[in-house]
Structure 1
Amino acid sequence: MADRTDPSAPQALELADIQGAMLRKRPGPYVGSYLLLRVGTPSDGRRLLARLLPHVASAARWWDPPGGAWLGIALSHSGLRALGVRQESLDSFPAEFIAGMAARAARIGDTGESGPEHWDAPLGSPDVHLVVAAFAADRAACDSLVETVREALRDLPAVQLLHRLEAAQLPNGRTHLGFVDNIGKPNIEGTGAPRDDRAGAAGPGHYGDPPGAGPAVKAGEFVLGYPDQDGVLATQPLPDALRRNGTYVAFRKLHVRVAEFRRYLKENASSTAEEELLAAKMVGRWRSGAPLVLAPSQDDPVLAADAARHNDFSYREQDPEGRRCPVGSHIRRMNPRDSPEVSVDVLRHCILRRSTTYGPELPEGQLTDDGAARGIVFLFMGTDIRRQFEFVKRQWANDGNFAGLETEQDPLTGNREGARTFTVPLPARARRRQYEQLPRFVVTKGGEYLFLPGIRALHWIAGLDR
């Protein structure tokens, strides 16, 4: 159920009540830990929340968190139950969140070797009740915050730390595949976000609409308690204390097959330059971050380093046929922007994305897998799991019909079940090249649907405001 309001009315967000991880990027460089916990009794779980609440960073003064490190808390549906939330509240949550990611894995393409039966424990099990994220600019500060969490667990025997997943920015500041990431993000009305949010912990920076972010998106698409693009104000979950300044999170642990990616480039190119071009075509950007729409034939590191330009482009105006940036490339699928081939309202399917790397780098030039666990932890955030995250995964990443690509999938993240081709239009009209037999470069190793409450809602769950 929902109420409808005037969608043109301005929205001012309660930043001090919103967990910082929702609206602000993590610090850069960063070191982090994801702590997965199981709650055995409501009383111990609530006591833990009460102890951790003073350390939770809000979206206000994001550059100055408690203790110089950033703490965020999210809960699964089974976690809300374990903390003693009443049944009427539990039943009021969306069906997707109640079911959990493992139960809906086939819908989002987590099948075969990415299926829940192959996930790293305890992800996908009913035992993951709380996910606590600790991030800082260096390992010492992060470990200090993790130790604070461990101290909060003392004399709470019913709360068990199941797993600690370490994350850290790679020395080159890029992903395991060598790409600069986290460039584009939605322009959310009322957030007061700096143009270059990479300043992060350094201070508030210069505020305004980030160039290339497109039209402002109503806050209700990402934060509960505010009108969405259609002027709709959600009336669930219940009670009102839960339905303000929170959001839903698709937590994803993805293993990246770096050696496989490198081998495919080498086997399908005749030179290093061709390898780099093929990699850029698959992603939609050069590894530096320079977009193909603006730098179609060779990398432009100066453009990539310019935060006022590296995301400021239009598919409809500058590349309507996808001859610079292929229609099937990763970034054009994840955010089609104004692509003429897309008929749906893109803003209704936007998601906030946060990513962190885990595991060691594969040495430069190595073409054989060393067996190490390495990849990306993605956090996809929005107020409607089905319409946002699941739609993007199902329709845009794993299906090509939306763009006239038939059974093609995302060349980077597709599960390759029945679709292993990637088409690259060539500059001359009516010509194209098809790359066949794409391997699976990314394998899902676990995931959870989580609720990231507002800070007052965390107080309510902890029993401090009831």
Structure 2
Amino acid sequence: MSLFGKLRSHIQEHTVTLDLDDIQATVLRLRPEPYFGTHFLLHFRTPESGRGFIRRVAPHIASAEQWWNGDHPWTAVALSYAGLEALDVPRSSLQSFPEGFRVGMAARATQLLDTGPNDPKRWDKVFREEKIHAALTVFAPSEASWRETATMLEEQFRGTPGLSIVGRDDFGAQPGSRNSLGYKDLISNPAIEGSGVTPFPGQGPAIKAGEFVLGYPGEAGIPLPMPQPDVLGRNGTFVAFRKYHTRAGSFNRFLRDNASDEESRELLAAKLVGRWRSGAPLTLAPEQDDPDLGADPHRNNDFQYKHDPDGLQVPAGSHMRRMNPRDSEMQLMADVNLHRIIRRATAFGPAYDADAITFEEDAVERGLHFIFMSARAMETVEFLQRNWINKGEFVGLGDERDPIIGVQEPQLTFTIPKTPVRTRVHGMDTFNELKGGEYFFMPGLAALAWLGQEH
């Protein structure tokens, strides 16, 4: 059964309470497997060109009505604060957006701990020039449907005077839909109350919709503040887009330097992430990989950490346990539900090769687009970057950092608990370097119609 077939079996349409016909599909729709697509980055030279683009593209933006059916390509669009300014959105509306969104991701580098190799001064030119007004993404389950949809949209772009494509990244087509380090990903997305989905085992109770979509009560029982007027904010969400370049050669050299054979290298790789490359969690498969488990959504997320408090199976500092501590005991307390995000990561470049260890491999154009969506995306991503990714104090690991997306320094280590003596692995490198990013607002379909008008 396909991914969407498995999902459809968990849908109860009578429980839907969200305005699915007004929410963009990609807020709720999972990435297909296999997947193909393109991220277009666009610039408006005049307000008229921006509004013309909105009017032309709006009919092609898929709604979340029957979001669980992803057997056909779909398109999503989001706008930066500079893009909203370029559309001549009224000043009172612009000022109703959160500060982090208004100043943009580069200006929040201190809050994000984007330093060293991740410093905005080192980003790709398109992200440094601050010309990105809109991001438009095509997702498709086949290469043919992707190319057809992308070509159609490019024709729409050419038909809009004053509209420029300032960046284009094609993605997907990875064997087994693996990421740039060879792992199956996007397994543990939250279930959203009111979307009609029955949570898969291990997802826990559905999280209040207002944590992800504006206009609905959040975990505190009240809606979060949203942009004004209501037609602009309701059913929208915020997006954090971060493009990483993967240094696969460095990752492979690290595994070889710290493990003597292929079996032990794969175990070390699993300890860094918290899952085997197949997606099987170490909690359920602590000794060896289990690809059937990794492929089964009814089982591959059905676990907690209460029986592994010391991290003997899954190190507390592993990427997966940091990003979703579940029931882990934390020294610095935080409500995990308030820091959950919808993830739509996409991989680009050639497939990962575990045998490629050269320095030239580090320069290959390969990487990940991390796409986070949440009603409080700026606040959540900055919290994660500052407290859970680039520090380890919340789980008693001091300065240790996320081994996959953290910014490493020469003296830092990765701790693997063992009995009787733990192992501290040295030689950590920054395996994924940030090449750019931006905060976007993904409006509902009614808001798109409003944005396409002169105000």
Please indicate the TM-score interval, normalised by the length of the shorter structure: over 0.9
User: Any conservation in 2 of the 1:107–1:390 contact (CA below 8 Å)?
Assistant: yes
**Following superposition of structure 1 onto structure 2, how do residues 222-233 of structure 1 map, counting pairs within 5 Å?**
222-233=212-223
* Counterpart position of 2:32: 27
Corresponding residue number in structure 1 for 2:309: 320
Query: Which letter maps to 1:448?
Result: E
Matches within 5 A, 1:384-423: 384-417=376-409, 420-423=412-415
Aligned to 1:15: 20
Q: Find the counterpart in structure 2 of residue 202 from structure 1.
A: none
- On the 8 A contact 1:97/1:385 being kept in 2, the answer is no
* 2:280 match: secondary structure: coil
The answer as to 2:45 corresponding to 1:56 is: no
Cα distance in structure 2, aligned partners of 1:242 and 1:124: 28
**Once superposed, what is the RMSD of the aligned Cα atoms?**
1.8
Query: Are the counterparts in 2 of residues 124 and 448 from structure 1 also a CA contact under 8 Å?
Result: no
State the identity %. Answer: 46
Partners of 2:351 and 2:295 in 1: CA distance: 23
Question: Displacement, 1:159?
Answer: 1.1
Any unmatched runs of 5+ in structure 2?
Answer: 1-14
- The answer as to whether partners of 2:139 and 2:146 remain within 8 angstroms in 1 is yes
The residue type equivalent to 2:216 in the other structure is Y
TM-aligned CA distance change 1:372 to 1:441, over 3 Å: same
Shift of 1:302: 2.4
Among 324, 327, 335, the alignment partner of 1:338 is 327
| 2:285 pairs with 1:295 | yes
Compared with structure 1, are the counterparts of its residues 64 and 424 closer, same or farther at alpha carbon in structure 2 (3 Å cutoff)? closer
Q: Deviations over 1:386-411 (max 9, x none)?
A: 43111111100111111110110001
Query: CA offsets per residue over residues 53-89 of structure 1, 9 Å max, x none?
Result: 1111111123667x94211000000000101101111
Alpha-carbon distance change, 137 to 116 in structure 1, aligned in 2, over 3 angstroms:
same
Cα offset, 1:139, TM superposition: 2.5
Could you say what secondary structure the match of 1:123 adopts?
helix
Question: 1:306 — aligned with what?
Answer: 296
* In 1, Cα distance between equivalents of 2:427 and 2:144: 45
Q: Give the aligned partner of residue 211 of structure 1.
A: 201
Q: Deviations over 1:195-245 (max 9, x none)?
A: xxxxxxxxxxxxx11111112210111000001100121343111111211
1:204 alignment partner in structure 2? none
Residue deviations 1:401-455 (CA, integer Å, cap 9, x gap): 11110110001111014762100101x25x2100112011010011010001111
- Counterpart in the other structure of 1:41: 46
- Equivalent position of 2:446 in the other structure: 456
Deviation string, structure 1 residues 13-56 (Cα, Å, up to 9, x no partner)? 11111111111112221110111110011112111111111111
Q: Residues 256-295 of structure 1: matches in 2 within 5 Å?
A: 256-295=246-285
Structure 2 counterpart of 1:4: none
Q: Which amino acid aligns with 1:141?
A: S
Deviations 1:368-393 (A, max 9, x none): 13332101111011111343111111
**Is 1:145 matched up with 2:137?**
no
Question: Contact 1:253–1:445 (CA<8 Å) still a contact in 2?
Answer: yes
Q: How many residues align?
A: 438
Offset of residue 167 of structure 1: 0.5
| Aligned match of 1:84 | 88
Aligned match of 2:240: 250
Structure 1 residue 143, shift from structure 2 partner: 2.1
Matched residues in 2 for 1:363 and 1:114: separation? Answer: 24
Relative to structure 1, the CA distance from residue 82 to residue 388 in structure 2 (aligned partners, 3 Å threshold; closer, same or farther) is same
